[in-house]
Structure 1
Amino acid sequence: MSLSEQKTELKKMNVPFFKASISEEEEQACTNVLRSGWLTTGKETHEFEKEFAQKINSPFALAVNSNTSGMILAMEALGVKPGKAVITTPYTFVSTAASARHLGADVYFADIEKENYSIDPEKIEEILKSPHGKNVAAIVPVHIAGNVCNMKHIMELAEKYNVKVIEDCAHSFPSKTSLGFAGTIGDAGVFSFYATKTITCGEGGMVCVKDKKTAERILQMRLHGMNRDAWDRYTSNKASWEYDIVASGFKSNLPDILSAIARVQLKKADILDAKRKVHVKKYNDAFSKMDFVKIPPTSEGDACHLYILRLDLLKLKCTRNEFASMLQEMGIGISVHFIPLFHFSYWKKLYPDFTKEKFPEAEKKFQESISIPLWPDMTEEMTKYVIQAVKEIGEKYHA
C-alpha cells in the first residue's frame, strides 16, 4: 500500500494554511474611504506612513503596492543598476533577486547558515573578496519567517567593503533586535502586507530608509517620476495640472482603501503577534519531544510569520513530499518556504553554474522543510490536531 493510501486514525479536521484576521474595524475603515470620495493614494496612506514609521522608529516610511515594488525602488535609489550587482540568498521568494534583474543588475548568491535559514555572512564576504566584489552595490539579507539575520556581521561587512544593505523584511514585522527593529538596521528595509503576512491589507508594502535623499528619490520614483503626487495636486491651492517629470519612474503607490485596512491592522499588530506566539509555543513544546522533527530557530523579539518544521529524514521512512502529502490528505494546509532559486529554469538559464551542489545548506533545508498552519485566530483544537497529525505520521514512518 502506498503512503497516499494509508488511513489516518485521527478524526479528520480542516485546518487552512492561513486565514487573515479581519474584523468589522477593517470593514468600517474601507467603508469610510469609499464614502470619502478619495480612493487612491491620499490622506489615509500618508497617515499610515507616519504611524508605521513611528511604530518601528524609522526616519522615513514610504508606502508601496507590494514588497516587490518596494525592493525595486529601494535598490534603484541606492545605486543598483546595469553593471552593478546585489548579493542575496537563493533561499528566498523569487522577487528578492528578480527586483535586481528588473533594474538590469546581476545577482550573486550566498548559501545560508547551517543552523538556520539566514544568509551566511562568511559566504557574503567570500563574494565581496572575489573579483565580483567590485560590482556589488548592495547586500540583501532576507529575514525568513521573522527570524532576523546576523545583521551585526552584515553591517560590519557593508562598512568594510563600502556597500549598501537592503533588508528584505517581507516576513519580519515587527521583529526587533538589540540593533533596533528589522528594516531600520540597514540603509533600507522593505516590508510586505500580502494576505498571509503578520499584518495585511491584501497587497501592499512599505519602504523604510534612514536618509532623506534616498526617501525623496523613492517618493518620486514610486509615481511615474512626478515631483507631486495626486493628493498634493488635487488638494493644493496650486493648479492641479502643474507638475514635472524628473525621472522615468514606476507605478508603485498604495491606494487609500488598502492603507485604511493596514492602519487598523497596524494598531492590532502586537495583539496579532502575541496570538501567533501562543500557537508557536504549543508547537515548540510538542515538537521538541519528537525526535524526527526540529523546531525552527528563533530569537527573542522575532516576529512569528511562519512555522517552518524541519524533518529529520534519517529518522523517517518517507520523503518531505510524502510527509507533506499526508498532512494535506488529513485536511491540513501546508506550504514550502522556499524552493531555492537554483531549481527554477529562468535562473538556471541565466547563470549556468548556479546549481544546488554549490549551495548544500539551502538544498538540504529545502528537502527537509514544511511550513504548517500559523495564524492568529487558529483555535486550540486546530493546533492540537496539527500536532497530533505530525506525531501520528512520524511515528508510523519512523525509521
Structure 2
Amino acid sequence: MKNQDPGPPPTIGVEEEFLLIDPATRSAAAAGTRVVARVPPALAERVSGEFTEYQVEGKTPPCSRLDDLRGELLRVRAGLAAAARAEGLRLCASGTPVIGGDGGRTDIGRHPRYRAGAEQYRAMLDDFAVCAFHAHVHLPDRETAVLTGNHLRPWLPLLVAMTANSPFHQGRDTGYASWRSVIRGRFPCLGPPPYAESLEDHDRLATAMAAAEAMLEPGMPFWDVRPNPRLPTLEVRAMDVLSGVDDTVAVTALIRALVATAVQRVADGDPGPRTGAELLRAACWRAARDGWSGHGVDALTGRVLPSSAQAARLVEHVRPALRAYGDEDEVTAFLRRLSLRGSGAERQRARLAAGPGLGAVVDGLVEETCPVGEE
C-alpha cells in the first residue's frame, strides 16, 4: 500500500432497532407509534417507528470521538426506554423476539415503504420483526463507497458472528446464534452486496433487481454494505442489535477502521478481492449458525477457522487506523469481553440455563439495554 496514513477520523453514526416488551408476559408488544409519540421534543429527530409496531428505532448524530458516540447512544436509549415505560412497556435489544411478537402484517408500521414491501414480499414478511444495528462512516464519494464495499464483503461473516444476538425466536431455541440473519437471508435484496466494478455497475444491477421486483427501489438497496441513499455515508447493516452500548461503540470503531483501510486501498488502485457470492453466502450462513464460539469460513481463503483467529487477523489488518484514531484499546477490550463471556447469543442461552425460563432471558436483555438509573 502506498499511503499508510489514514488521515483524520471520519465521523461515525449508529442506528439501533429495539423491541417493545410487555413486562408481564415478556412478549413483544405492538405499540411503536404510541411509544414514539411519548419521546420528548429534544429527541424527536433521533427516534422513529420501524417495520412493525413491535419495534422502535434510535439514531445518533455524526460523531468523531467514541466517547461522544457512547453518550449519544445512551441518551437515545434512555429517551426510548422512558417513553416505553410511560406506556407500561420495556425496551429490549435482541435481534428477534424471544417470546411472542409474530410481526404479522396487521402490525406493520405506517410508512408507505413498509406497506409496499408487504405487498411485494407477502408472507415472507410475516415474521420480520427483526432488530439490527447499522454503522455509518462518513464517505461522500459514492464511487469510492461502492469500491470500498468490495473490500468489506469478505469480513461480513465475522461481523455477523461477533454480534450474533438472536438465538431464540417466538419461544424456541433455533439452534442458531443469529436467527435474524436467517430470516433476512430469504430475501433476494438482503445480505452481502454483489461485487461491483464501478458505481455504474452497482446501480445497473440495482435497477435490474428493482425491475424484477426483487428490490423495492433501485436507489435504496438493502444490501449489508451500501452507500446510504440519503446520507454521505457508507452504511454497514449485517449486525444484530447489541444489548450493551460499549459493544456497539467498539464494533462501530472496528468498522470505521475497516472502511478507512479499504478507502486507502481503493485510492491506491485496488478494487477489492473478488470473493465469490456462493462462498460468501455460505460463510454468512455458517456465522449465523455457529456464531462467535464456533468456527467460521474465511471468505478470503475458503479456510474454516475459529472466529477468534479471524478476529485477530481483522485487527491486524486495520491496526494502523485503530491506532491513528485512538480506538485500539476500545476494540481490544471488546474482543476480551467476547473471549470471557461470549457473544449476545451465548449470554442469552446462559441466562436460560440459569433460569427460570425464557422470561429471565428477556429480563436480562432489558436490563442490559438500558440499566436502571440511566433512563
| TM-score (normalised: structure 1) | 0.26
Compare CA radii of gyration and give the structure with the larger one. Answer: 1
| TM-score (normalised: structure 2) | 0.27
